[in-house]
């Protein structure tokens, strides 16, 4: 199957290229970059040296393919989607342009009116663990936001199985690596300013909140803090239980939803240095590690992912595998390294 990547020079685009070059069912035929048109992929992604002879193309030169991944900036695809849909029968959008079901939410969370609101009903939200059957039937998928992915996967089982009180606040804190901000520099990302920081950059109003509420059906108060790491997200979510539950009830809740999921792992050890989910160990992998702890009335959920993989490129390849009937783990088998 022939695949192309729009927006291949960003961090997410680079991960898509890396994954698709190794995918046993896929031939990567093009990746675009207006800035680096005609340059080899390794000019931007040095980890791809001697991996391929392909060079970046301009968007206007993209040819028909079997599937297109769009890693273009937010707001770009929604204004040029007709041409892209004419080029391929399947499209996976990794931006926020088609994640929200309600068109009015785009004005609130993205400060814009959606130009094609009728298409929002056709896009399937791209978390396979929640929408596997819909994705298998769909030709249009919108990948989830990275902070939303970690939060939704961590909270979904206990909400679905009625373990927490939806009338009381669920507070989630996402601790994020610098790659989440993309590869465009800013004064805040300048090394002397960024290094060593623990920076609350979105204590309220994070746009991924809209996805979380949409998918979980309950209110969640999301805050985001930038840490001095490159990859990774650790979400810590606090909530009150409806009643004190035995630990086995919580385990059952998670296993009833995720026991057959190839990319969900439960991490809750009695001893050792990594007793709970640790994003450092997930670098380059498509896993979401989930753990929890309780006291008399409170449950604390911890979920970790690599924001560029399970939160972006890996999630999109997983959705492609389901769309096309490939084995779900194809191209996503890397298990991580330790120490790192």
CATH homologous superfamily of domain 146-305?
Dihydrodipicolinate Reductase; domain 2 (3.30.360.10)
Q: What is the pTM of this model?
A: 0.96
- CA–CA distance, 247 with 167 (Å, rounded to integer): 22
CATH homologous superfamily of domain 2-143+312-324?
NAD(P)-binding Rossmann-like Domain (3.40.50.720)
**pLDDT, tens digit, for every residue of 18-34?**
999 999 999 999 999 99
- Please report, for the chain, the start and end positions of each structural domain, with discontinuous segments joined by +: 2-143+312-324, 146-305
- Look up residue 59 and give its DSSP letter: G
- pLDDT of 188 > 90? The answer is no
- CA–CA distance, 183 with 71 (Å, rounded to integer): 13
The predicted model gives 43-58 an average pLDDT of 96
> Model confidence at 192, in pLDDT bands (50, 70, 90)?
confident
- pLDDT of 305 > 80? The answer is yes
- pLDDT of 166 > 80? The answer is no
- pLDDT of 159 > 80? The answer is yes
Give yes or no for a contact between 170 and 164, defined as CB atoms under 8 angstroms apart: yes
Residue with tokens 């931007």: 44
| Strand runs labelled E in the chain | 2-6, 27-31, 67-70, 90-93, 124-125, 140-142, 170-176, 199-202, 220-226, 233-240, 264-266, 288-294, 298-305
Would you name the residues annotated as active-site residues? 146
**pLDDT, tens digit, for every residue of 282-295?**
999 999 999 999 98
């Amino acid at each position: 199957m022939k695949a192309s990547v729009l927006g291949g020079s960003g961090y997410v685009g680079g991960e898509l290229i890396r994954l698709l070059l190794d995918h046993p069912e896929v031939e990567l035929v093009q990746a675009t970059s207006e800035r680096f048109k005609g340059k080899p992929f390794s000019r931007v992604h040095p980890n791809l040296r001697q991996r391929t002879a392909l060079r970046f193309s301009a968007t206007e030169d993209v040819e028909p393919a079997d599937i297109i991944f769009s890693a273009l900036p937010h707001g770009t695809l929604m204004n040029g989607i007709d041409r892209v849909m004419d080029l391929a029968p399947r499209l996976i959008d990794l931006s926020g342009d088609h994640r929200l079901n309600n068109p009015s939410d785009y004005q609130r969370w993205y400060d814009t009116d959606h130009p094609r609101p009728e298409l929002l009903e056709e896009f399937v939200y791209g978390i396979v663990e929640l929408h596997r059957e819909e994705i298998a039937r769909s030709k249009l998928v919108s990948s989830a936001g990275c902070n939303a992915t970690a939060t939704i996967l961590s909270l979904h089982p206990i909400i679905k199985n009625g373990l927490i009180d939806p009338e009381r606040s669920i507070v989630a804190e996402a601790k994020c690596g610098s790659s989440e901000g993309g590869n465009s520099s800013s004064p805040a990302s300048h090394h002397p300013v960024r290094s060593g920081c623990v920076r609350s950059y979105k204590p309220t109003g994070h746009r991924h909140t809209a996805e979380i509420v949409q998918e979980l059906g309950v209110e969640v108060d999301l805050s985001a803090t930038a840490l001095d790491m490159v990859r990774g997200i650790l979400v810590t979510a606090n909530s009150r239980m409806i009643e004190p539950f035995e630990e086995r009830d919580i385990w059952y809740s998670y296993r009833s939803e995720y026991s057959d999921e190839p990319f969900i792992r439960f991490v809750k050890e009695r001893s050792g240095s990594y007793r709970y989910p640790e994003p450092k160990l997930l670098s380059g992998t498509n896993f979401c590690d989930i753990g929890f702890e309780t006291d008399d009335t409170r449950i604390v959920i911890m979920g970790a992912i690599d924001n560029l993989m399970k939160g972006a490129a890996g999630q999109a390849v997983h959705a492609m595998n389901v769309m096309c009937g490939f084995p779900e783990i194809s191209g996503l088998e890397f298990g991580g390294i330790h120490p790192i």
